[in-house]
Chains A and B, each alone.
Chain A
Amino acid sequence: QKEVEQDPGPLSVPEGAIVSLNCTYSNSAFQYFMWYRQYSRKGPELLMYTYSSGNKEDGRFTAQVDKSSKYISLFIRDSQPSDSATYLCAMTGGSQGNLIFGKGTKLSVKP
């Protein structure tokens, strides 16, 4: 079993839809959780991060971590065509630990 599992999609939704992206993980030492967004033919960029369990909201984006289930989610409200990208989850135990990335979910938001 890979340390981080992420459904690669692709996921296609109409503009204005609520999008849910998810990752599961197996390493209980992970405590920092991140979502990176990668536009086509570009490098990934950090979108959001959370520490341990709970929710974090930033505009239309909400990141959720459930450590008891080893499950993290990214919700996008009122999705826009400009949200079309690949979303990668990433996590680490912190400090000197390297990031472990999911495979990424390709999202397409249709006007």
Chain B
Amino acid sequence: NAGVTQTPKFQVLKTGQSMTLQCAQDMNHNSMYWYRQDPGMGLRLIYYSASEGTTDKGEVPNGYNVSRLNKREFSLRLESAAPSQTSVYFCASRDIIAGGLYEQYFGPGTRLTVT
């Protein structure tokens, strides 16, 4: 049981280049999330997918697109990278603990630098 996996672990892009961050979970969770984490800003939600076939914008969606490929996989695409997108990106999936309380399981992160 690998949990939430992310690829790549590190990436350096030039301004204007595109790339896709991959995320997969093997826990059969319905909901999946993409966050970015910046110093002094905490975790900010980019996009989420409540279930297979649905995606919704979070707090900071501009410059990103997502695809929920199937129940396991949720990818994040940067079409034209900008230096402001330099960040650590975390994917997460969610499982119920009890009642309306859910636990999010995070992947190890992707460190992206845009020059």
Contacts and interface: CB of A to CB of B under 8 A. Distances in A.
Interface of A: 6, 8, 31-32, 34, 41-46, 49, 51, 88, 92-99, 101-104
Contacts of B33: 98
Contacts of A103: 40-42
Given A32-B101, A49-B97, A98 B106 contact: no
Nearest to B91: A43
- The binding surface of chain A is classed by DSSP as loop
Interface residues of B, number: 23
| A-B complex: 9 closest residue pairs judged by Cβ atoms | A94-B100, A43-B106, A103-B42, A95-B100, A101-B43, A32-B101, A46-B103, A44-B106, A101-B42
A1 B109 CA distance: 29
Interface in B88-103: 90, 92, 97, 99-103
Contacts of A8: 40
Contact of A43 (B50, B58, B100, B107): B107
B112 interface: no
Given A41-B109, A43-B106, A45-B106, A51 B42 contact: no
Contacts of A92: 100, 102
B108 interface: yes
Contacts of B40: 8, 103
B89 to A, nearest CB: 11
A3 B50 CA distance: 22
B42 A88 contact: yes
Contacts of B4: 43
A98 B57 CA distance: 11
Given A51-B99, A96-B50, A98-B48, A88 B43 contact: yes
B115 to A, nearest CB: 21
A8 B43 CA distance: 13
Interface in B42-74: 42-43, 45, 48, 50, 58
